[in-house]
Amino acid sequence: MNIKYDYEVDVLRIIFSNNPIAESDEEKNGLILDYDKNGNVVGMEILQASRRIEDPFACDYAVTAVKKDEIPRTQAHNI
């Protein structure tokens, strides 16, 4: 996953997969979802991000890893 914020055009882009984009739909005003040829979401754009997100420069995320026969572990990160 890759997260990019372009302050010059005020767009936050989240890339979930490197699969080529086959189609894009504006689901709600200013929220665009990108799909691959199989209909999987591969990316998302938030237009006018600074008006819709408290701080588009901040990024908090958590990673949960689950393996067979293992207790789930969660790691949280603040960038």
Q: What is the pTM of this model?
A: 0.72
**Which pLDDT value is given to residue 37?**
98
pLDDT in tens, 2-36: 999 999 999 999 999 999 999 999 988 999 999 99
78 — pLDDT class (breaks 50, 70, 90): low
How many percent of the chain have pLDDT more than 90? 62
Write out pLDDT tens, residues 31-65: 999 999 999 999 999 999 999 988 888 877 776 76
| 42 Rama class: left (phi>0) / alpha (psi -120 to 50) / beta | alpha
Domain ranges of the chain: 2-78
